[in-house]
Structure 1
Amino acid sequence: MRWCLLLLCVRSCFGSYSPDEVLNLPGLSTRLNFRQWSGYLQASPGKHLHYWFVTSQRNPVKDPVVLWLNGGPGCSSLDGFLSENGPLHVNDDGSTLYINKYSWNKVANVLYLESPAGVGFSYSDDQNYATNDDEGFAVGNGLSSLYYNDQSLVYFGYYHGLFGDTLWNRLNRYCCKSGSCNFFNNTNINCRETLEEVFMIIYNSGLNMYSLYMDCAGGVQKTNMRFLKDLQNLFQFYQFEVVEDSNDSSNLVPPCINGTAQNAWLNRADVRKALHIPQFVPTWDICSDVVGEKYERVYATMRDFYVKLLSKGLRVLVYNGDTDMACNFLGDNWFVHSLNQKKTQDYQPWIYNKQVAGFYEQYGNLTFLTVKGAGHMVPQWAPAQALKMFESFLSNSAY
């Protein structure tokens, strides 16, 4: 499952380190109006995290510094750079780059960090990749609560036409009582068996789970290793089993996503040299199987973290593309409600280019916002709307 966390510094902490500055990039023929650096930060002894930092195209000294992290767990933030909100994207030929006119560094300095060690070009000296779980922060299509994600997924699937009335009626009969449903940890054996049908429909659907109404890149596919990792985040209480295809165990690209171009470009020898990647570092993959395998989930909910950060006066944006099934908008909306913050702005549409771009509501410093028609990777599939949302959040202005 891929999600993105955005942290904003209070003031721009602009600086530079000459050996890491990127002076040219293979496949780029355009002169850039910003500076960039790529190299390594030592997170702890023996842990080397690869970063790619780009300055703001507007005012790098005064504009804020933004840290962008892709989630997974175990997926690279360079995918965010090269296909979502970075200033440079890779053409389909896997050899040339083009300028992203909706890049978030139009209004901010952005630091893309590949974390933890073992992801992308980041590495550990001892190759031990076990891991676990400012002015404001934003979370895009995040998994903030296992409970609300499971509870909402059943409703999301039914009202998007994935389940028929027969299955829906059985869910209500076996999993609900006195108007309240428990799809998260129900001990009723009939409920468990019915939820397993729900799980298998999602598993076998062939739909693009990251953007329900987009075609699946490459056509309907059999499931791959990354898809199985994502499914492990769903209905964990029941421990539903699926058969793993050993012939497909090396496919770490999320299902229905085409990462061929980024993979080809980043693994070129001249690109690695330009980004200051040592020769001994393994080839780049969009997601790390090793990190995913060794990741241990510590927290079933992020509620306490949100409440603590909100109590410090930080501004928070929770945004969702509303067609994402991996981390659906309804679950995040319910999670925001559970924080028990005082509502200051009722649910209403926000506008981009004279069209409804989604909906939002506010609870003081906390905003919940949807992006209409976008999936899991909002900046990739709704780039103009995402930039507008980002600018409004940075400036604390109306959406």
Structure 2
Amino acid sequence: MWLYLLALVGLWNLLRLFRERKVVSHLQDKYVFITGCDSGFGNLLARQLDRRGMRVLAACLTEKGAEQLRSKTSDRLETVILDVTKTESIVAATQWVKERVGNRVMWLYLLALVGLWNLLRLFRERKMVSHLQDKYVFITGCDSGFGNLLARQLDRRGMRVLAACLTEKGAEQLRSKTSDRLETVILDVTKTESIVAATQWVKERVGNRGLWGLVNNAGISGHLGPNEWMNKQNIASVLDVNLLGVIEVTLSTVPLVRKARGRVVNVASIAGRLSFCGGGYCISKYGVEAFSDSLRRELSYFGVKVAIVEPGFFRTDVTNGVTLSSNFQMLWDQTSSEVREVYGENYLASYLKMLNGLDQRCNKDLSLVTDCMEHALTSCHPRTRYSAGWDAKFFYLPMSYLPTFLVDALFYWTSPKPEKAL
């Protein structure tokens, strides 16, 4: 990972250099109040800013120091006598400054506003929904990973969990670790008849109360690799689960969620912000982001809140290195001899090595993701988006806001190169 770190540091320094070279406009209208201007740093800074055309208000301890400073500067610069050890002197100087700056907004006000907003946000987000023991939550993909942990987590909170599993074995294992409140149903999100049956099952349990929470968590990684190696089915099989499954389950259960004025939580990914590989996975997560955005706006009229969870790399079945490597090898085997010649054996070996080492780079603490899901379901004021994991917060999410050419360059530098690359 040293190459990634080096690239990140270089990118950060470029961004920092660009940001720091950007200068505030209309400096001639800006007032600056400086203490200790009789000599030293304060004296030099006052003269320096005066030369830049700024409105300098210089506080000196003695009249002699003030006179000497005025003699070396323009008429814009004004001085006041200030002894910072005396309250009455500070009050008088503050009033003198206030008379000159008038009603101009100062940076201190902006800083106070930002601090106040963060305090308000913290207070709002800590306010929890009441009567959680009466709330029903339907979660897909509960055989393992995030869905399994969330089901157990919400069960411990006393909520009425309706857990959808793909296999009976997964359902049995989950029931063995939870209370009698939790109920399971078998659901294959790629089959309409399975979704219809599961929706009816949910409807029978929630009754007139409606469904408080829907968590679309079921997902697969499928085949990851160059798009050129894929066929339509390789991509469609992932979209059927990760995108079309999310859409169909949501459309089937939305009337129940609307009745409860509840929540929809869709699990996307940082791969819905940055497309870092070919195949259906990134496409599906971009689709989940778009679907969630439109759904949120539509359902806001009915008091329903829609949240998107964007995890970074976590150790689940989706990031299983053995499975991903096997699928990648399968793609290689199905490509033409021409494609294999263009990419070369070294490319295959480098990519397989990267996939096999993915497990070691993934975060093991899945609760960082499920805590986001829980907050989206239980907070009176949930967030629109949750970035889970340090890599998502401080690497992938910031990178998604960078200019495209910088992101492209970073991927170019750090990705395996085909043998016939120019």
- TM above 0.5, one fold? no
**Greater helix percent: which structure?**
2
TM range (shorter): under 0.3
When normalised by structure 2's length, the TM-score is: 0.24
Q: Which has the higher contact order (CA 8 A, sep 6+)?
A: 1
